[in-house]
Structure formats: structure tokens, C-alpha cells
Structure 1
Amino acid sequence: MTNKWISFIKFALVGVLNTLIDFVVYALLTTIGVNYILAQWISYSAGILNSYVMNRKWTFERKEKSSKREVISFVIVNLITLSLTSFLLTVLYNKWGVALLLSKLLITIVSVGINFIGTKLFVFTTKKKEGFIYDDKKSSYSSRRFRNSIFASDKSAAQRNAANCR
């Protein structure tokens, strides 16, 4: 089995736990009368807290300290997912008359795909090495140096970096 599939399976297992947390909190909040959109935001937030910790440590096996970029990227991906799911929840429940918990289940299925792609592409993807951002699996040292030489502030620095790539 390839690493991509193993990562996806781990992500899905963490997602099951996140979904349970999300659903339990959502059901409790809506049962006591909290507005369904507010309940969605609170319950989703509870799930993503678990998601960040478990996906970082287990799914994507990060051992280094969390970076500001990683946390901000994680929050942005989840805010996009949350906004989309809130919109879909409103459409399914208010516009189409689908039962509330069934609507929640359907949007949860959609959110897993969106979240995996966003998390894989934008959150747990790169690391810093020697001042360059790179992906171990897709980039060699010389191609990183060459790409970074393009953005050098002066011509001589770009020439030195390009020469070092040869």
C-alpha cells in the first residue's frame, strides 16, 4: 500500500473520531436549543481541535514543533471547510427540507474530502531546510537552490546560486 493511501486511511480514522466528537457536541447543543448554525460552529471546532493534534502526530507524523504557518494554514483550511458546510447545511435543512441530522451527515461526508485535500496540500506538506521551503519527495537540493535564485534580490546573488546548482 502506498504512503498516500496509508495517510488517507489514517486521516479517515482520525476523521471518524472527529466526526463522533462533532456529532455528539452538535446533538447535545441542538437538543438544548442552541441555534443549529452556532451549534455547527461549536461542534466543528471541537472536532478540529482533536483533528489537528491527531493528524499532526499520527497521520502526517510530524515530530518538529508546530510552526505559525502550519497552525494558520490549518485554521484557514478548516474555516473554508466550515463556511462551506454551514452553507450546505442551511441549503439542505432550510431550503430543501432535509432532516437536520441527515443534513449534518451529508455535509460531513463532503467535508472529509475537502478537508483531506486542503490539509494534505496546504498544512502538513513542507518543511524548512537551509532557508528554503521544500517537499522532500518532489524536490532535489539543486532545483530548490535554482528556484530560490530566481527570487534573489540582486543579479550577482542569483548568478552565485545558479552556479552552485551545477
Structure 2
Amino acid sequence: MNNKGNRFLKFSIVGGINTGIDFAIFSLLAAMGMNYLIAQIISYGGGLLNSYFLNRRWTFQQQARVEITEVVKFILVNLMTLVITSILLAFLYNELNLPLLLCKLLATGFGVFINFIGNRIWVFKNSEERGESV
């Protein structure tokens, strides 16, 4: 498997862990009667720290110290993903009347691609891709 394939596989594994955290929190909050969009925001945030550190070190192999601009970009990519997946979740649930957890699964799957692209091309560029010497 080429480097790009390995990177996406690692991203997917990290995403699976994050999704597990996300789904567990979402399911618990929804079962407790919390509004599904508020539960979405809270549960999405649940996997955010794990996502940042595992993707930074393992997936995209960033060794340099953490820069504030990288953290801000990471948060912006994730906020964009959160907004898009929340809109999709609401559409699937309210307009198509699909079961809530199925809507969550579909929205999350779509979010994986958005998040990977944003992280790969904007947040975790390695020094060679930035044109810097290694």
C-alpha cells in the first residue's frame, strides 16, 4: 500500500476510535433526553482531543512542536465538519425520517472525508510539502 493509502488507513483507524467515543457520548445523552443537536455538539467534541494527538503523531507524523496556528486550523476544520454533519444529521432525521442513530452514522461517514481532506491539505502538511528543508 502506498504512503497515501497508509495515511488514510491510519486516519480511518483513529476516526474509528473517535467515532466510538462520539457514538457512546451521543447515545448516552440522547437516551437521557438531551436535544439531538446539542448531543451532537458535545459528542463530537468528545473525540476531538484524541483525534488531534493521534492524527498529529501517528497519522501525519508531525514531530515538530505544536504551533498555535496548527491548533487553530485543526479546530476550524473540525468546526466546519461539525456544522456540515449537524446540518446533514438534521436533514436526514427531520426530512427523511430515518432512525436517529442511522442518521448519525451516515452524517459521520460523510464527515470523515471532509475532515481527512481538511487535515491532510491544510492542517498537517509536513515540512517537505510546505517547501521547507527537512
TM-score for both structures, normalised by structure 1: 0.76
Name the amino acid aligned to 1:85: T
Q: Alignment RMSD, CA only?
A: 1.4
Q: Which runs of 4+ in 1 moved over 2 A?
A: 137-141
| Cα shift at 1:11 | 0.3
Query: Of the two, which has the highest radius of gyration?
Result: 1
User: Residues 72, 3 of structure 1: CA spacing in aligned structure 2 closer, same or farther, 3 A cutoff?
Assistant: same
Query: Residue in 2 aligned with 1:106?
Result: 106
Q: Which residue pairs with 2:93 in the alignment?
A: 93
Q: Is the 8 A contact 2:18 2:47 kept in 1?
A: yes
The answer for the alignment partner of 2:42 in structure 1 is 42
Shift of the 29–114 alpha-carbon distance from structure 1 to 2, 3 Å rule, reads same
Asked if the contact 2:62–2:126 (Cα under 8 Å) also holds between the matched residues in 1, the reply is: no
Q: TM-score, normalised by structure 2?
A: 0.94
Shift of 1:140: 7.4
Displacement of 1:139: 3.9
Distance 1:137 1:84 in 2: 28
Q: Secondary structure at the match of 1:61?
A: coil
Paired AA for residue 13 in structure 2: L
Q: For structure 1, which runs of at least 5 residues remain unmatched after alignment? A: 128-135, 142-166
| 1:69-105 per-position Cα deviation (integer Å, ceiling 9, x unaligned) | 1000000000000000000011000111011000000
* Aligned equivalents of 1:140, 1:38: Cα separation in 2: 42
- Structure 2 gaps of 5+ residues are none
Structure 2 residue 40 is matched with structure 1 residue 54: no
